Amino acid sequence: MKITKKNGNITLFDDEKIVASILRANAETAETLMDRKLASAIADQVFLRLTVSSEIITTGDVRRCVDALLREKGFAETARHYMEYSK
């Protein structure tokens, strides 16, 4: 899957960037510390959800999907920090 970056460049989807961003956002909260395994599972779910909709996605699509998944998993504060971080 490919992703269109904010600057218009198109690159391959890199789930490790999502994992790192989720972990950084979680570390800034008072919520339960998230482990790499859970962050990786969320990144995998992002990939699965977005590949159904399109071959090329945007960073905005990824942001919204990560936000929704974090909230579904009970990490609302992490989701808020993630959205602030990824603006």
Q: Using CA atoms, how far apart are residues 17 and 67, in angstroms rounded to an integer? A: 15
Tell me how many domains the chain contains: 1
Instruction: Determine the structural domain holding residue 50 and report its residue range.
Output: 2-85
Q: Which residue has the higher pLDDT, 59 or 87?
A: 59
Three-class DSSP labels, 46-87: HHHHHHHHCCEEEHHHHHHHHHHHHHHCCCHHHHHHHHHHCC
**pLDDT tens by residue, 13-69:** 899 999 999 999 999 999 889 999 999 999 999 999 998 867 788 999 999 999 999
